[in-house]
Structure 1
Amino acid sequence: MPAEQHRQYLTPYETGNRNQTTTWAECIAFYERLAHDFPSVLRWQQIGTSDNGIPMHAGIVTADAQFDRQTLQRQRRPVFFNNNGIHPGEPEGIDACMALVRDFCTQPARLAALGETVFLFIPIYNVDGCLNRQSTSRANQLGPESSGFRGNARHLDLNRDFIKCDSLAAQVFNRFFTAWDPDVMVDTHTSNGADYAYTMTLIPTQPDKLGGGLGQFLRSRMLPAIYGGMDERGWPTCPYVNCVAETPDDGIADFLDSPRFSTGYAALHHTIGFMPETHMLKPYADRVSAMRTLVEVVLDFTVAHAAQIQELRRDARAGAAHQARWPLSWRSDTSRPNSFRFKGYEAVYTPSSIGNYQRLAYDRSQPWEKDIPYFDRFAEDVAVAAPKAYLVPQAWREAIERLEWNGVAMRRLEEDQVFDNARVYRIERVASRPAPYEGHMFHDEVTLVAHTEAVHARAGDVWISLDQPKARYIVETLEPQAHDSFFRWGFFNSVLEKKEGFSAYVFEDTASRMLQEEPALKAAFEAWKKSNPDKLSDPREVLGFIFAHGRRHAEPGWRRYPVAGLG
Structure 2
Amino acid sequence: MTQELRTPYEQGNKNQTTTLAECIAWYQDLAQRYPSVLRFEVVGTSDAGLPIYAGVVTADGVFDRAQLKREGRPVFFNNNGIHPGEPEGVDACMALVRDFCLQPARLAALGKTVFLFVPLYNVDGSINRANTSRVNQDGPEQFGFRGNARHLDLNRDFVKCDTLTAQVFNKLFTAWDPDVMVDTHTSNGADYPYTMTLIHTQTDKLGGALGSFLQQTMLPHLFAEMAKRGWPTCPYVNPVKDSPDHGIAEFLETPRFSTGFAALHHTIGFMPETHMLKPFADRYESMRALVETVLDFTIANATTIQELRRAAREAGKARHEWPVHWSMDESKPSSFRFSGYAAKYSASVLGNYQRLSYDRSEPWERDIAYFNHFPADIHVTVPRAYVVPQAWREVVERLQWNGVAMERIDADKVVEVQYYHIKSVVSRPGAYEGHMFHDDVQLEKRTANLLLRAGDWWVPLDQDQARYAIETLEPQGHDSFFRWGFFNSVLEKKEAYSDYVFEDHAVELLRDEPALREKFEQWKTANPALLSNQEAVLDFIFANCQRYVEPEWRRYPVLSVM
User: What is the TM-score normalised by the length of structure 1?
Assistant: 0.98
Q: Is 1:470 matched with 2:460?
A: no
SS of alignment partner, residue 267 of structure 1: helix
**Alignment correspondent of 2:524:** 529
Query: How far, CA to CA, are the matches of 2:39 and 2:234 in structure 1?
Result: 35
SS of alignment partner, residue 383 of structure 1: strand
SS of alignment partner, residue 503 of structure 2: helix
Query: How far, CA to CA, are the matches of 1:346 and 1:18 in structure 2?
Result: 30
**Alignment correspondent of 1:410:** 406
Q: Tell me how many residue pairs correspond in the alignment.
A: 562
Match of 2:332 among 327, 333, 336: 336
The within-5 A match list for 1:1-400 is 4-5=1-2, 7-400=3-396
**Alignment correspondent of 2:505:** 510
Kindly state the Cα deviation for residue 113 of structure 1 after the two structures are TM-superposed.
Answer: 0.7
Instruction: Note the alpha carbon deviations across 1:158-191, whole angstroms, 9 max, x for none.
Output: 0000000000000000000000000000000001
Query: How far, CA to CA, are the matches of 1:137 and 1:479 in structure 2?
Result: 37
SS of alignment partner, residue 35 of structure 1: helix
Match of 1:443 among 438, 447, 460: 438
Structure 2 residue runs of 5 or longer lacking an equivalent are none
Match of 2:550 among 546, 551, 555: 555
Query: How far, CA to CA, are the matches of 1:255 and 1:560 in structure 2?
Result: 33
Query: How far, CA to CA, are the matches of 1:143 and 1:520 in structure 2?
Result: 68
Query: How far, CA to CA, are the matches of 1:21 and 1:280 in structure 2?
Result: 14
Q: Is 1:497 matched with 2:489?
A: no
SS of alignment partner, residue 148 of structure 1: coil
Query: How far, CA to CA, are the matches of 2:519 and 2:122 in structure 1?
Result: 52
Aligned-residue Cα RMSD (Å) equals 0.7
Instruction: Note the alpha carbon deviations across 1:525-547, whole angstroms, 9 max, x for none.
Output: 11111222222122111111100
Kindly state the Cα deviation for residue 455 of structure 1 after the two structures are TM-superposed.
Answer: 1.7
SS of alignment partner, residue 378 of structure 1: coil
Instruction: Note the alpha carbon deviations across 1:173-229, whole angstroms, 9 max, x for none.
Output: 000000000000000000110000100000000001000010000000000010011
Structure 1 residue runs of 5 or longer lacking an equivalent are none
**Alignment correspondent of 2:426:** 431
Query: How far, CA to CA, are the matches of 1:33 and 1:361 in structure 2?
Result: 47
Instruction: Note the alpha carbon deviations across 1:409-460, whole angstroms, 9 max, x for none.
Output: 100011101112x111000000000110000000000000001111211000
Query: How far, CA to CA, are the matches of 1:377 and 1:504 in structure 2?
Result: 53
Partner letter of residue 505 of structure 2? T
**Alignment correspondent of 1:460:** 455
Partner letter of residue 519 of structure 1? P
Query: How far, CA to CA, are the matches of 2:72 and 2:451 in structure 1?
Result: 42
SS of alignment partner, residue 375 of structure 2: strand
Kindly state the Cα deviation for residue 358 of structure 1 after the two structures are TM-superposed.
Answer: 0.7
Query: How far, CA to CA, are the matches of 2:424 and 2:298 in structure 1?
Result: 45
Query: How far, CA to CA, are the matches of 1:109 and 1:192 in structure 2?
Result: 37
User: What is the TM-score normalised by the length of structure 2?
Assistant: 0.99
Query: How far, CA to CA, are the matches of 2:437 and 2:318 in structure 1?
Result: 31
SS of alignment partner, residue 332 of structure 1: coil
Query: How far, CA to CA, are the matches of 1:143 and 1:419 in structure 2?
Result: 61
SS of alignment partner, residue 313 of structure 1: helix
Query: How far, CA to CA, are the matches of 1:249 and 1:538 in structure 2?
Result: 52
Kindly state the Cα deviation for residue 8 of structure 1 after the two structures are TM-superposed.
Answer: 3.6
Query: How far, CA to CA, are the matches of 1:352 and 1:293 in structure 2?
Result: 39
Partner letter of residue 551 of structure 1? Q
Query: How far, CA to CA, are the matches of 2:528 and 2:14 in structure 1?
Result: 69
